[in-house]
Amino acid sequence: MSESLVHHRQRLQAAQRRCQNLPMGEQSPLHGSELRRRLDEHAVLSVLESSIVADYAQLLEHWKSYLVMTDRDGVLLRSWGQSELIPDTARPLFSPGQPWSESALGCNAIGICLHDQLPTFVSGKQHSLHALRDLECSAAPLVDPRGDVDGCLAMFVDPRRVRSRTQGFVQVLAQQLENRRLIDAYGDGHYQLTFNNSPDNLDSPRAGLLIIDSAGQLQAMNARARWILGEHIPARLHWHQLCGTPWREARAHVEGRLDITFHGRLLCHARLSPPRRPQDQRAALHPAWRALDLGDSKLHHAILLAERLKDAGIPMLIQGETGVGKEVFVRALHAASQRADMPLVAINCAAIPSELVEAELFGYERGAFTGADPRGKIGRIRQAHGGRLFLDEIGDMPLGVQARLLRVLQERQVTPLGATDAYAVDIELVAATHRPLEEQVAEGRFRADLYYRLCGVSLPLPPVREREDLRQLVMSLLSDLATPLPPPRLSDALWSRIQSHAWPGNIRELENLLRVGMAIADGNMLDIDHLPALSATQRASLPPSVTRTAPSADSMSERLARHNGNVSSLARELGVSRTTLYKWLRDAEKRHASVVDDQATQGWPDQGIT
Ligand SMILES: Nc1ncnc2c1ncn2[C@@H]1O[C@H](COP(=O)(O)OP(=O)(O)OP(=O)(O)O)[C@@H](O)[C@H]1O
């Protein structure tokens, strides 16, 4: 038995001893804002999705494997792959928020990997929990750009199906991820030196990677480089101290091959890559993306990820508060894709009465039900054949429809209501929601299996109050509104009010206020008096997680009357979408009905309710 296997076995035995008397399965999963906070902290998730889910989707499917990422405490943040692999009794353990530390689940690869900060492999009966005994899991630590372990990547397979052990594979994925994060963190303005023992394996994720600034100072390195060069290499070493040659000489070989000697003894083959220029990336984007990519780093990241995956058959879930531009984003995605000439079919799951969603999505045969169109209906999914289906407000989809939709996505064919034949469909899928879908899954209000089908990758779009490019966004909206004239200038007072406002209705609210302001202003300067709605509110007066709340039922119906019943016009005034307004109106109606019921049971004096 090799030394490393012996060492692994000893680590496993030590873990079994640590876990012997632990109460297992008693820690409850994290929900709500705590889970959201942990998800938001892990920007690595989107890097993982763009580098791994995109590149290895087919292999993961071929192995019928299930990939999981946790944070440094072992809390499961997201998973991808074949949920069918997971036995029913183990399913709750795979929900977002579930802790996988040793103290929560006893002996398991994730818990041990995070305890020892080393790759770990646990199979079948080695697991403490019975529910996990049909599975085999390989886990590898995730290392942040500072060199600290901040999570774990783990792959589950059925050991009876997959003979080849997956440990090496997961380690390569984790290493690849570490390299991507290092390059993303330092890439702009920094050189990258990749080195290995042969010129042929410089592209391997297991090559050493050094990040060097333009003056030749070492800034960071990956775990592999640290291992090769020795743990105790001082931070901020200069190239000259490391290799004994002038930095300017190395720079002359940028993009070419280099043979270097570290510390005068270790000969390596290397390649020096020049710093990335951020503007190169932007210029290469489709114009539809460029119109949205105004300088915010989170949005830029979402655009790059969507651009990479737009034709990969990987479903995307766009998340963000109302009015952040989810639909605009989906339209740009479609325009930039190979399917741009094929239909983009959108269905708003919140705007259609729940009993009609099925007919809308799947279509129906002639005479399928009373009140149906006598000619039958093809349904939105088949309309999208060859193109893209956009399921907006997916968080509002009724549970019964979720089950049918899941079947369609698994089988890639639709059977209309009342029909016996199924029709094959070829669609790219994108969904959007302003609801925290992970929480809805954890609370059983959204099917976990559908969530994983829809969320091949999740793309969070930032709210306006967090946009780093607020000024550019305002100027771009003003230019659009003013066309063909030049946009007005903003007074300093207005600009500072725009910065301090919370923008609960996000871009929709901003656009509407600017439109009103431009109608009121008569010169080429927009001032605070031109945006009366802004002068009344301050960010400080709004709660930290701002959601738009509905006005009371009475004020709502009065307002609607003032707009002559025109919902679009009232929605514009309130800075919310028509969908949101319809929802408020329906809620108001229900509240009103229940008040009438209560009053009926108490018996109003002069209202003979019969
Ligand atoms: N980048 C942008 N530039 C200009 N206008 C934008 C941009 N993004 C969004 N908008 C405008 O903001 C409004 C809201 O956009 P959109 O409908 O895409 O938001 P949403 O997030 O889908 O909203 P909801 O969740 O309420 O449906 C629309 O009027 C849209 O034209």
* Higher per-residue confidence, 39 vs 321: 321
For position 164, what pLDDT does the model report? 64
Q: What are the beta bridge partners of residue 57?
A: none
Q: Report whether 218 contacts 263 (CB < 8 A).
A: no
Question: Which of 21-30, 198-207, 356-365, 539-548 is predicted with the least confidence, judged by mean pLDDT?
Answer: 539-548
CA 158, chain centre distance (Å): 27
Q: Cβ(467) to ligand 1 under 6 A?
A: no
Atom nearest to 576 CA in ligand 1:
26
Instruction: Evaluate whether 3-172 and 469-541 have a shared fold.
Output: no
Q: Cβ(581) to ligand 1 under 6 A?
A: no
Length of the chain: 610
Looking at this protein, which amino acid is placed at residue 151? G
Q: What is the mean pLDDT of residues 405-426?
A: 88
Q: Cβ(328) to ligand 1 under 6 A?
A: yes
Q: How far is the CA of 508 from the centre of ligand 1 (A)?
A: 6
Q: How many CB atoms lie within 10 A of CB 315?
A: 20
CA 432, chain centre distance (Å): 11
Mean pLDDT of the chain: 83
Q: Cβ(323) to ligand 1 under 6 A?
A: yes
* Higher per-residue confidence, 608 vs 200: 200
Phi, psi dihedral angles at 136 (to 5 degrees) = -125, 140
Q: How many CB atoms lie within 10 A of CB 538?
A: 12
Q: Cβ(22) to ligand 1 under 6 A?
A: no
User: What does the pLDDT look like over 513-563, one tens digit per residue?
Assistant: 999 888 888 778 888 888 877 765 544 333 333 344 455 544 586 677 667
Nearest CA to ligand 1 atom 15: 325
Residue 218, pLDDT > 60, answer: yes
Q: What is the mean pLDDT of residues 130-152?
A: 92
Superfamily of domain 282-460: P-loop containing nucleotide triphosphate hydrolases (3.40.50.300)
Q: Cβ(508) to ligand 1 under 6 A?
A: yes
Q: How far is the CA of 511 from the centre of ligand 1 (A)?
A: 9
Residue 13, pLDDT > 50, answer: yes
Atom nearest to 318 CA in ligand 1:
21
State how far the alpha carbon of 572 is from the alpha carbons of 412, 509, 510, 528, 580, in Å: 39, 8, 11, 20, 11
Residue with tokens 């091949």, as numbered in its chain: 456
For position 602, what pLDDT does the model report? 35
**How far is Cα 5 from Cα 11, in angstroms, rounded to an integer?**
10
Nearest CA to ligand 1 atom 12: 508
Q: How far is the CA of 332 from the centre of ligand 1 (A)?
A: 12
Q: Cβ(327) to ligand 1 under 6 A?
A: yes
Nearest CA to ligand 1 atom 9: 325
Question: Does residue 484 have a cis bond before it (omega within 30 degrees)?
Answer: yes
Q: How far is the CA of 552 from the centre of ligand 1 (A)?
A: 25
Q: Cβ(318) to ligand 1 under 6 A?
A: no
Specify which of 4-13, 270-279, 548-557 reaches the highest per-range mean pLDDT. 4-13
For position 204, what pLDDT does the model report? 82
Q: Report whether 376 contacts 365 (CB < 8 A).
A: yes
Q: What is the DSSP letter of 89?
A: G
Question: Which of 227-236, 326-335, 574-583, 601-610 is predicted with the least confidence, judged by mean pLDDT?
Answer: 601-610
User: What does the pLDDT look like over 86-115, one tens digit per residue?
Assistant: 898 998 899 889 999 999 999 999 999 999
Question: Which of 37-51, 86-100, 352-366, 469-483 is predicted with the least confidence, judged by mean pLDDT?
Answer: 37-51
Nearest CA to ligand 1 atom 24: 322
Extents of the domains making up the chain: 3-172, 189-275, 282-460, 469-541, 553-602
Residue 274, pLDDT > 60, answer: yes
Q: Cβ(348) to ligand 1 under 6 A?
A: no
Give the contacts of 549 (CB within 8 A, at least 6 positions apart).
Answer: none
Phi, psi dihedral angles at 575 (to 5 degrees) = 70, 35
Nearest CA to ligand 1 atom 2: 292
Which helix (H) or strand (E) covers residue 594, if one does?
A: helix 578-602
Residue with tokens 């871009």, as numbered in its chain: 507
For position 586, what pLDDT does the model report? 67
Q: What is the mean pLDDT of residues 240-268?
A: 83
Nearest CA to ligand 1 atom 7: 325
CATH of domain 3-172: 3.30.450.40
For position 277, what pLDDT does the model report? 65
Which CATH topology does 469-541 take? Answer: Helicase, Ruva Protein; domain 3 (1.10.8)
Q: Cβ(478) to ligand 1 under 6 A?
A: no
Q: Cβ(292) to ligand 1 under 6 A?
A: yes
Q: How many CB atoms lie within 10 A of CB 177?
A: 22
Question: Does residue 543 have a cis bond before it (omega within 30 degrees)?
Answer: no
User: What does the pLDDT look like over 342-399, one tens digit per residue?
Assistant: 999 999 988 877 778 888 888 988 876 777 777 888 999 999 999 999 999 999 888 8
* Higher per-residue confidence, 314 vs 50: 314
**How far is Cα 438 from Cα 431, in angstroms, rounded to an integer?**
14
Residue 127, pLDDT > 80, answer: yes
Q: Report whether 50 contacts 308 (CB < 8 A).
A: yes
What is the token pair recorded at 211? Answer: 């990040």
Residue with tokens 């709750």, as numbered in its chain: 92
For position 606, what pLDDT does the model report? 30
For position 546, what pLDDT does the model report? 37
518-524 contacts, C-beta under 8 A, 24 or more apart: 518/478, 518/481, 518/482, 518/488, 521/488, 523/488, 524/486, 524/488, 524/489
For position 255, what pLDDT does the model report? 76
What is the token pair recorded at 41? Answer: 């902290």
Which residue, among 373, 449, 451, 365, has the nearest Cα to 415 in the 3D structure? 365
Tell me, what's the ipTM?
0.98
CB burial of 276-303 (b: ≥16 within 10 Å; e: otherwise) equals beeeeebeebbebbeebbbebebbbbbb
User: What does the pLDDT look like over 431-464, one tens digit per residue?
Assistant: 999 988 888 888 888 998 888 888 888 899 999 9
Q: Cβ(415) to ligand 1 under 6 A?
A: no
Residue 85, pLDDT > 50, answer: yes
Q: What are the beta bridge partners of residue 152?
A: 70, 141
State how far the alpha carbon of 442 is from the alpha carbons of 94, 438, 445, in Å: 10, 6, 8
* Higher per-residue confidence, 165 vs 389: 389
Residue 257, pLDDT > 60, answer: yes
What is the token pair recorded at 595? Answer: 């008040």
Q: What is the mean pLDDT of residues 465-482?
A: 90
Nearest CA to ligand 1 atom 13: 508
Q: Cβ(580) to ligand 1 under 6 A?
A: yes
Q: Cβ(511) to ligand 1 under 6 A?
A: yes
For position 513, what pLDDT does the model report? 92
Q: What is the mean pLDDT of residues 126-140?
A: 94
Nearest CA to ligand 1 atom 26: 322
**How far is Cα 178 from Cα 44, in angstroms, rounded to an integer?**
9
Specify which of 1-10, 71-80, 163-172, 270-279 reaches the highest per-range mean pLDDT. 71-80
Q: What are the beta bridge partners of residue 424?
A: 413
Question: Which of 49-53, 130-134, 473-477 is predicted with the least confidence, judged by mean pLDDT?
Answer: 49-53
Name the pLDDT band for 589 (thresholds 50, 70, 90): low
For position 391, what pLDDT does the model report? 94
Give the contacts of 568 (CB within 8 A, at least 6 positions apart).
Answer: 578
Share of the chain residues as helix, strand and coil, in percent rounded to the nearest 5: 45, 15, 35
Q: How far is the CA of 377 from the centre of ligand 1 (A)?
A: 30
